[in-house]
Amino acid sequence: MNTPAKLVTYVAGLAVVFGAALGVGSAVGEVGAPPRATAPSEGAGPAGAGHGESTSHGGQNGDQNGGQNSATTKPAQAAAQDTPGGLQVSQNGYTLTPLTATIKPGEPTDFAFTVTAPDGRPVTDFQVQHDKKVHFIVVSRDLTIFQHLHPEEGANGVWTVKLTLPEAGVYRAYADIFPTGASALTLGADLFAAGDYAPKALPQVSRTAEVDGYTVTLDGDLTPGKSSKLTLKVSKDGKPVTDLQPYLGAYGHLVALRAGDLAYLHVHPDGEPGDGKTKPGPEITFYAEVPSTGDYRLFLDFQHDGTVRTADFTARAGQAAAPAASPAATPSADPSGSPASDHDSTPHGH
Ligand SMILES: [Cu+2]
């Protein structure tokens, strides 16, 4: 019975934060009223719950809170800086501008885009990161399709890449860049492939991935808010692969995306080819930091025998190791669509 009252408290609290974030001093009197006042009603049972909406009786506390909140707008700025990459099409004045937004599924398209600077002009000066000025990642929003591409630089800051969206649906495109004079950032924009779309369920949590006869296992756990060591081990036909080839200055590239909003997370490889200590497999080590509990999709690019392949995993952050195969966190599966059976129910390592 307390739930509605708690909800109202929570919503009222949000209203305060929101008002503070906007810096709306004049609104504080209205929206800033209730938060503490409803707390005692947790013990009040049905009465508190029943009158949950009439929260305007917290005037005194509201004035106090209002005073505090209007004095501090910094929390909102801090929150913006902590926002993971890839969620915004524009950040720090830099904007990703697709020149083509709608693409026919299955048809190779010369996809073009610019990144504009705070002065509104296309950026033409980027720092090289991992051998490239622009890393361009495209995923289906259900996180089952992944492409890691490298666009060509054209005149006037226009970048072009041959892009095929294999199926109808909504996709997220990321430009992982480092404009000279700014800081590294990842901008994201949605792309659309017209047609009937049946989203797939999130693949089950697994520590093993198979791709083209290669088996890749994942060791290590994602811990929210901490740099988490992940070790990926590549084998083929049961034998460890010890002659991985450098690709973009590393033996592997790992992209981590958060299920639910497709936040793009920073992952740092541990060591690089030629540093005298990093071996060409079978293990590739990364440090990943995820901001929250929940499910993440991990995409590992590695090169062997001249071909780059991608192994993909679903990993759960913030829970004990050895997660049980649990479909609980999957998005509501499309009842008419393909069932999850097309994902190999590979057992996890341990
Ligand atoms: Cu890249």
Q: Using CA atoms, how far apart are residues 86 and 94, in angstroms rounded to an integer?
A: 12
Residue pLDDT, tens place only, 29-82: 334 333 443 333 343 434 433 333 333 333 334 344 433 444 444 454 444 557
pLDDT tens for residues 134-144? 999 999 999 99
How many other C-beta atoms can be found within 10 angstroms of the C-beta atom of residue 48? 21
Dihedral sign for Cα atoms in the order 107, 109, 115, 116:
negative
CA of 299 to the centre of ligand 1 (A): 12
Residue 272 has pLDDT above 50, yes or no: yes
Q: How far is the CA of 134 from the centre of ligand 1 (A)?
A: 7
Cβ atoms 123, 88 nearer than 8 A: no
86 alpha carbon – ligand 1 mean position (Å): 15
How many Å lie between the centroid of ligand 1 and the Cα of residue 99?
20
pLDDT confidence of residue 100 = 87
Residue 244: predicted pLDDT: 96
Ligand 1 midpoint to CA 184 (Å): 14
Respond yes or no on whether the N-terminal peptide bond of residue 122 is cis (omega within 30° of 0).
no
CA of 128 from ligand 1 middle (Å) equals: 11
Instruction: Evaluate if residue 158 carries a pLDDT over 90.
Output: yes
C-alpha dihedral over 219, 223, 228, 234, to 10 degrees? 20
Tokens 């495209």 map to which residue?
A: 138
Question: Does an H or E element contain 314, and which?
Answer: strand 307-317
Distance 253 CA to ligand 1 centre (A): 8
Q: Which residue has the tokens 């990926």?
A: 232
pTM over 0.75: no
Asked whether residue 180 carries a pLDDT value surpassing 90, the answer given is yes
**Ligand 1 center–CA 187 separation, angstroms:** 14
Q: Tell me how many degrees the CA angle 133-280-302 measures, rounded to the nearest 5.
A: 50
What separation in Å is there between the alpha carbon of 247 and the centre of ligand 1? 9
Mean pLDDT confidence for 100-124:
94
Q: How far is the CA of 278 from the centre of ligand 1 (A)?
A: 20
* Distance between Cα 237 and ligand 1 center (Å): 28
**What's the average model confidence in pLDDT over 268-292?**
92
Q: What is the C-alpha separation between 233 and 208, in angstroms, rounded?
A: 10
Beta-carbon contacts of residue 310 (< 8 Å; ≥ 6 apart):
146, 148, 211, 299, 300, 301
**In the prediction, which pLDDT does 319 show?**
54
d(CA 140, CA 171): 4
What is the distance in A from the centroid of ligand 1 to the CA of 300? 12
Average pLDDT over residues 262-267: 92
Cα gap 115→179, rounded to integer Å:
9
254 CA to centre of ligand 1 in angstroms:
10
Mean pLDDT lowest for which of 24-33, 159-168, 179-188?
24-33
CA of 9 to the centre of ligand 1 (A): 46
CA 120, CA 97: separation in Å to the nearest integer?
11
Report how far ligand 1's centroid is from the alpha carbon of 182 (Å). 19
Q: Tens of pLDDT along 317-350?
A: 985 444 445 544 444 444 444 444 444 444 433 3
Q: Does pLDDT of 310 surpass 70?
A: yes
Mean pLDDT of the chain: 78
C-alpha of residue 118 to centroid of ligand 1, in Å: 24
Given this model, what pLDDT does residue 17 score?
42
Tokens of 99: 């020149």
C-alpha of residue 256 to centroid of ligand 1, in Å: 13
Cα of 68 vs centre of ligand 1, distance in Å, is: 45
Find out whether 197 and 169 touch, Cβ atoms under 8 Å.
Answer: yes
Residue 266 — pLDDT band, cuts 50, 70, 90?
confident
DSSP H or E stretch at residue 9: helix 3-22
Q: Which residues contact 208 (CB under 8 A, 6 or more apart)?
A: 215, 216, 217, 218, 346, 347, 348, 349
